[in-house]
Amino acid sequence: MSQYQVVNPATGEVVEEFPTATDEQITDALERSHQAYASWRETPIEERTKVLSRVAEIYNERSEELAKIIQLEMGKAVPEGQGEIALVGLIYNYFADNAKAFIEEEKLKGPKNAEAYILRRPVGSLLGIMPWNFPYYQVARFAAPNLALGNTIILKHAPQCPKSAAVMEQIFQDAGLPADAYINVYATNEQVSDVILPDPRNQGVSLTGSERAGSAVAAAAGKNLKKVVLELGGSDPYILLDSPDLDATVKTFFGTRMGNTGQACNSPKRMIVMEDMYDEFLAKLTAAAKEATPEDPAAEGSKLSPLSSLAAKERFMEQVNATVADGATIHAGEGDYDTPGAFVKPVVLTDVKPGKRGYHEELFGPAFMVFKVSTEEEAVELANDTPFGLGSAVFSSDADKAAKVGSQIDAGMVFINSPEQSREFLPFGGVKRSGVGRELGPLAMDEFCNKQLFYKQK
């Protein structure tokens, strides 16, 4: 039985299977990707970016069809999937429009009898290892800047997203990308560590996924002296200093956390609230959580989709139950829905203590941990008391005060009076155990890039 399967998370039904690649097929992909690099790197950037523009058009043209594929694979509501695909189009267009400027030569000051400058060159064939939670978006933010730069790509997607993985490869070909400049492979984890990363034709790996997966891939890449970009977990804090409209604030916090049914690395997992608003905030948040009901992710306007799989549900519920057993108080989310599939109730937790389950873990589902603080200093200390450092947000009617607090947070991204956003022009990435490197924005093309010094004496 292949590990690459489409399993409907709303029912648990196996819909389709795809064969896992053999070692010979993986080796063949490495050679084809390496050969394609020789010509793709020499293709004028105007032609490379023209392909990306066409990719964006195809995603927009096929939005509903593509959204239905991931709805079946990982349970994302179709309207939410269409939102993901719209962002994908923006990403490909962003690099189509800006890639040439991003790689312009950078002149250095030096002696009058010489010229010195930095050229940004591609490095070769890259491996991308992508997760199931945003099947198209995660690939786009890796593929778009690197294809624009002139690198080629071998893509290993999550085993539960084989159909969307195959469709993405076809979209590139339909857009005019040379067939071997982007190759989809149904590889195993062992083939990544034992076949791809040791091969000299591979020049680096980008992984978005769990802390455990990132650690394993980084170890294998380091052993083989390969560059890595890692976007891993997060336990992002949202600090609420004050609010002129608490109903609106709770709606923002709740809606942002519930995006993708809570399955996002940069989701607000810890709500840090000043004590004068804490009780009212908790009551309103709990009420919102209790109102949620399971809905068919294929339905128009569906708001509570299942988790990505029955296994994901089991892991999430085990984390929640262990956190409660360790002394946390559960205000909403007890028990289970009387329905098949991977649906879970939104969970609201308080009294989650340091050193206990849930405090230092990423709860990957619709769980809200709410903390009471009495000072800004206490809020910052709590926000930074985590092994992760992906994103964060601070809210206040005084934007300058919020910015001062935000500047003290150890995270790769800080948002002031705004929920966290994934946008094509905003560099995305974290610090500490949330990973290394940046994707999107003007920094993305510098990751797998030979910043080549050119020195010419007159």
Of 84, 169, 231, 420, the catalytic one is 231
265 is catalytic: yes
Q: How many whole angstroms separate alpha carbon 79 and alpha carbon 175?
A: 25
> Cα Rg for the chain, rounded, in angstroms?
23
Q: How many whole angstroms separate alpha carbon 37 and alpha carbon 253?
A: 45
Q: How many whole angstroms separate alpha carbon 236 and alpha carbon 121?
A: 35
Tokens of 250: 């709770």
Residues with Cβ < 8 Å from 250, sequence gap 6 or more? 281, 284, 285, 288
Of 84, 265, 420, 447, the catalytic one is 265
Buried b / exposed e along 7-39 (16+ C-beta atoms within 10 A): bbbbeeeeeeebebbeeebbbebbebbbebbee
231 is catalytic: yes
Q: Which residues are catalytic?
A: 231, 265
